């Protein structure tokens, strides 16, 4: 998707604001002697913004609007080093709610729906984004926040919640709990809006069938508003994103060069109208691609494919580059196992080894044969032989937040 003249005008307006505020990006441009872009080629030469730049700006170095205009901050979790703080103006907060309401509408949610929100509230952008969009649409928000499954199921039954917003791991946990308690006929859910982590087609099918609901993938990140900058439609053929608020590029993560539409690479996002903390060419480290052509739903908004993983998820085992998504796809091809798995990378006897744990569904007892079959499939499709361990269903950890499926034990 080439940048349009209007989008370029918006970028130039943001460049002026960044230079005026003296933020890191403004300084980068001053140094490069760039004050405007006039063509898609010039745009592609603009320097990238990196997570490190955002961390270095801690606490409020990203603030691009005058302090009296800032009404809120959000922060991304700082698992490594300092957190990132993103200031929002009232317009930013409103724009985010507009985009989020658009997501709900794309999923067919209306003002008569009751929306149970299980993502967390607080410094991060999850819960409050789901809530603001819901209120803007006119639906009833049920702001539960995460955890406390008993209470979640009680409210779901009493209030007849029709929409559930959750991470895929928590949606799966709720689906399993509803089945276990035999309360499916007391649940009124019709749709699930699922965000914030990569999930397999198998897990998706399991949640959708066991709850009997339609599922929608929502996309977003704290640095760029939060969740709600894109969502899948009823055709489940990628996520439509709002190109009147963001400009999205896909680059080769190694060379930094743009790749053609349809090819996978790293998602790079430019905010077009953000005031509090505009970002130009921000490297998300998420891997996906732009899906060419128009969607069956007829929406004019372009589409981003399902997130395939992170550029830093890439593992090198015995000299072969491996993505968790590849392992997941192979596991998904086996009808005998559940959607849950765990990958452990360790350093044994002087070399890197991958162990894959999968759960056999009940009725399958020949674990050794199944393990051998999965290992052989990985060898033939990816090129190395992992150690596969088959365990009983329900043994692998489920969580209320994000489930860690890849554990690197090499540096413990
Ligand atoms: Zn569509």
Least confident residue range of 9-13, 351-355, 406-410:
406-410
Ligand 1: centre distance to CA 147 (Å) = 32
Ligand 1: centre distance to CA 242 (Å) = 12
Ligand 1: centre distance to CA 157 (Å) = 31
Is the pLDDT at 163 greater than 80? The verdict is yes
Is the pLDDT at 145 greater than 60? The verdict is yes
What pLDDT does residue 411 have?
61
Contact status, residue 142 vs residue 131, Cβ threshold 8 Å: no
Nearest in space to 138 (alpha carbons), one of 162, 109, 103, 166: 109
pLDDT band at 402 (very low <50, low <70, confident <90, very high): low
CA 289: distance to chain centroid?
A: 14
pLDDT band at 80 (very low <50, low <70, confident <90, very high): low
What pLDDT does residue 348 have?
75
What pLDDT does residue 201 have?
81
Question: Are β-strands 114-117 and 70-76 bridged in parallel, bridged antiparallel, or unpaired?
Answer: unpaired
φ, ψ of residue 384 to 5 degrees: the values are: -145, 160
Is the pLDDT at 317 greater than 70? The verdict is yes
Ligand 1: centre distance to CA 398 (Å) = 31
Task: Taking residues 66-87, report their average pLDDT.
Answer: 88
Is the pLDDT at 368 greater than 80? The verdict is yes
C-beta atoms surrounding 326 within 10 Å: 16
What pLDDT does residue 124 have?
86
Ligand 1: centre distance to CA 1 (Å) = 17
φ, ψ of residue 43 to 5 degrees: the values are: -60, -45
Task: Taking residues 122-126, report their average pLDDT.
Answer: 89
Task: Taking residues 360-377, report their average pLDDT.
Answer: 93
- Find where tokens 């460049």 sit: 15
pLDDT digits (tens, 9 = 90+) for 10-47: 999 999 999 999 999 999 999 989 999 999 999 999 99
Task: Taking residues 374-378, report their average pLDDT.
Answer: 95
What pLDDT does residue 203 have?
87
Cα-Cα-Cα-Cα dihedral sign, residues 290, 294, 296, 302:
positive
Nearest in space to 9 (alpha carbons), one of 36, 41, 45: 36
| Gyration radius from the chain CA atoms | 22
Ligand 1: centre distance to CA 294 (Å) = 8
What pLDDT does residue 248 have?
98
What pLDDT does residue 405 have?
84
Go through the chain and tell me how many residues it has. 412
Task: Taking residues 281-294, report their average pLDDT.
Answer: 94
Is the pLDDT at 412 greater than 60? The verdict is no
Distance between CA atoms of 334 and 347, rounded to whole angstroms? 28
Question: Are β-strands 282-288 and 309-310 bridged in parallel, bridged antiparallel, or unpaired?
Answer: antiparallel
Task: Taking residues 266-278, report their average pLDDT.
Answer: 97
Triad 59, 62, 66: Cα angle to 5° = 105
Ligand 1: centre distance to CA 33 (Å) = 41
Structure tokens at 198: 């990569």
What pLDDT does residue 406 have?
83
Structure tokens at 78: 């700082």
Task: Taking residues 99-109, report their average pLDDT.
Answer: 98
CA 194: distance to chain centroid?
A: 9
Task: Taking residues 328-335, report their average pLDDT.
Answer: 90
Ligand 1: centre distance to CA 304 (Å) = 11
Beta-sheet strand order (sheet of 351-360): 387-392, 351-360, 337-348, 406-408
Ligand 1: centre distance to CA 56 (Å) = 38
Is the pLDDT at 323 greater than 80? The verdict is no
Is the pLDDT at 76 greater than 90? The verdict is no
Most confident residue range from 218-222, 259-263, 316-320: 218-222
pLDDT digits (tens, 9 = 90+) for 169-186: 899 999 999 999 999 999
Distance between CA atoms of 69 and 48, rounded to whole angstroms? 26
Distance between CA atoms of 25 and 16, rounded to whole angstroms? 11
Is the pLDDT at 78 greater than 70? The verdict is no
Task: Taking residues 209-227, report their average pLDDT.
Answer: 96
What pLDDT does residue 400 have?
61
Most confident residue range from 112-116, 204-208, 399-403: 112-116
Is the pLDDT at 370 greater than 90? The verdict is yes
Task: Taking residues 189-204, report their average pLDDT.
Answer: 85
What string of H, E and C letters represents the secondary structure of the chain?
CCCCHHHHHHHHHHHHHHHHHCCHHHHHHHHHCCCCCCCHHHHCCCCCECHHHHHHCCCCCCCCCCHHHEEEEEEECCCCCCCEEEEEEHHHHHHHHHHHHHHHHHCCCCCCCEEEECCCCCCCCHHHHHHHHHHHHCCEEEECCCCCHHHHHHHHHHCCCCEEEECHHHHHHHHHHHHHHCCHHHCCCCEEEEECCCCCHHHHHHHHHHHCCEEEEEEEECCEEEEEEEEECCCCCCEEECCCCEEEEEECCCCCCECCCCCCEEEEEEECCCCCCCCCCEEEEEEECEECCCCCCCCCCCEECCCCEEHHHCEEECCEEECHHHHHHHHHCCCCEEEEEEEEEEEECCEEEEEEEEEECCCCCCHHHHHHHHHHHHHHHCCCCCEEEEEECCCCCCCCCCCCCEEECCCC
pLDDT band at 363 (very low <50, low <70, confident <90, very high): confident
Is the pLDDT at 235 greater than 90? The verdict is yes
How deeply is 156 buried, as exposed, middle or buried, from its count of CB atoms within 10 A (0-12, 13-18, 19+)?
buried
pLDDT digits (tens, 9 = 90+) for 150-162: 999 999 999 999 9
- Residues paired with residue 335 on neighbouring β-strands, in sequence order: none
Ligand 1: centre distance to CA 360 (Å) = 35
Ligand 1: centre distance to CA 286 (Å) = 21
Distance between CA atoms of 228 and 349, rounded to whole angstroms? 46
> Structure pTM?
0.83
Ligand 1: centre distance to CA 107 (Å) = 10
Q: How far apart are the first and last CA of the chain?
A: 43
Ligand 1: centre distance to CA 325 (Å) = 23
What pLDDT does residue 45 have?
95
């Amino acid at each position: 998707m080439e940048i349009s003249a209007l989008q370029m005008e918006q970028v130039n307006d943001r460049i002026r604001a960044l230079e005026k505020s003296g933020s890191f990006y403004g300084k980068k441009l001053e140094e490069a002697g760039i004050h405007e872009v006039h063509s898609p080629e010039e745009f592609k030469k603009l320097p990238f913004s990196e997570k490190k730049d955002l961390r270095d700006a801690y606490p409020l170095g990203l603030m691009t609007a005058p302090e009296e205009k800032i009404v809120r901050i959000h922060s991304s979790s700082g698992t490594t080093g300092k957190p990132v703080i993103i200031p929002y103006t009232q317009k930013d907060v409103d724009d985010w709610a507009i985009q989020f309401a658009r997501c709900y509408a794309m999923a067919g949610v209306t003002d008569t729906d009751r929306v149970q929100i299980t993502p967390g509230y607080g410094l991060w952008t999850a819960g409050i984004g789901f809530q603001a969009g819901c209120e803007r649409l006119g639906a009833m928000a049920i702001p539960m926040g995460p955890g406390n499954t008993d209470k979640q199921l009680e409210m779901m039954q009493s209030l007849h919640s029709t929409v559930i917003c959750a991470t895929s791991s928590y949606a799966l946990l709720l689906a399993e709990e509803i089945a276990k308690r035999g309360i499916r006929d007391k649940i009124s859910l019709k749709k699930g809006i699922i965000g914030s982590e990569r999930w397999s087609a198998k897990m998706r099918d399991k949640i959708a069938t066991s709850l009997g609901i339609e599922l929608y993938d929502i996309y977003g990140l704290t640095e760029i508003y939060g969740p709600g900058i894109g969502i899948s439609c009823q055709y489940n053929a990628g996520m439509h994103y709002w190109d009147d608020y963001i400009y999205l590029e896909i680059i080769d993560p190694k060379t930094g060069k743009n790749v053609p539409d349809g090819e996978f690479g790293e998602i790079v996002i430019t905010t077009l109208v953000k005031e509090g903390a505009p970002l130009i060419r921000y490297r998300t480290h998420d891997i996906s691609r732009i899906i060419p052509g128009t969607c069956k739903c007829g929406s004019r908004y372009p589409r981003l494919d399902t997130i395939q993983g992170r550029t830093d998820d890439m593992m090198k085992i015995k000299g072969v580059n491996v993505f968790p998504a590849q392992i997941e796809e192979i596991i998904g091809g086996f009808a005998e196992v559940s959607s849950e798995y765990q990958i452990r990378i360790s350093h044994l006897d002087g070399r890197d080894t991958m162990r894959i744990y999968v759960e056999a569904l009940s009725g399958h007892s020949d674990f050794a044969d199944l393990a051998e079959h999965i290992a052989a499939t990985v060898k033939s499709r990816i090129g190395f032989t992992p150690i596969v361990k088959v365990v009983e269903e329900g043994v692998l950890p489920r969580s209320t937040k994000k489930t860690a499926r890849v554990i690197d034990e090499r540096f413990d």
